[in-house]
Amino acid sequence: MYYDIAQHIKSCPNCNINKYSRKKPNGYLNQVDPPVGVWENLSMDFVGPITPPSASGNKYILVITDLLSKYVIAKATRDNSALTAATVLVEDVILKHGAPNQILTDNGTHFTAELFNAIMSLCGVCH
């Protein structure tokens, strides 16, 4: 019976025209090429809000990780804005180690803002 139904569906013009895909569309997740050198591929994300805030008013931690050496930079920040992310990235990574080839993020609003993307394109970083 299964064979008969399959043959009928293959030969039916209406079934072939109105057939729709039951498969989910591909997402944004892609395979990452392994880094060749240190500070070429980074990942970064904000942790927080942390309660209670620190004595200096910091509620978030920006964590930047080199994917080859697994070296971590963790910087306490007052907010999780695009300006803060870009400032920490430039001051603590780009000026000290050079611009990376690629940065992986969770595509939060602070990492997809125009300011952050403009700085990434100026530095030649793929995000």
DSSP secondary structure letter of residue 119: H
- Averaged pLDDT for residues 1-19: 75
Give all strands (DSSP E) within the chain, no chain letters. Answer: 41-47, 60-66, 72-77, 102-104
pLDDT-based confidence at residue 15 (cuts at 50, 70, 90): low
- Name 66's bridge partners: 42
Flag the least confident range among 14-28, 85-99, 105-119.
14-28
Q: What is the pLDDT of residues 75-101, one digit of tens each?
A: 988 888 888 888 888 888 888 888 888
pTM, rounded to two decimals:
0.68
pLDDT-based confidence at residue 63 (cuts at 50, 70, 90): very high
Q: What is the rounded average pLDDT for all residues in the chain?
A: 82
Better-predicted residue by pLDDT, 20 or 115: 115
SS3 9: helix
pLDDT-based confidence at residue 20 (cuts at 50, 70, 90): low
User: What structural domains does the chain harbor?
Assistant: 37-127 (3.30.420.10)
Q: For tokens 């209406």, what's the residue?
A: 14
Could you tell me if 75 and 89 are in contact, meaning their C-beta atoms sit under 8 angstroms apart? no
Q: What is the pLDDT of residues 34-55, one digit of tens each?
A: 888 888 888 998 887 888 887 8
- Name 60's bridge partners: 77
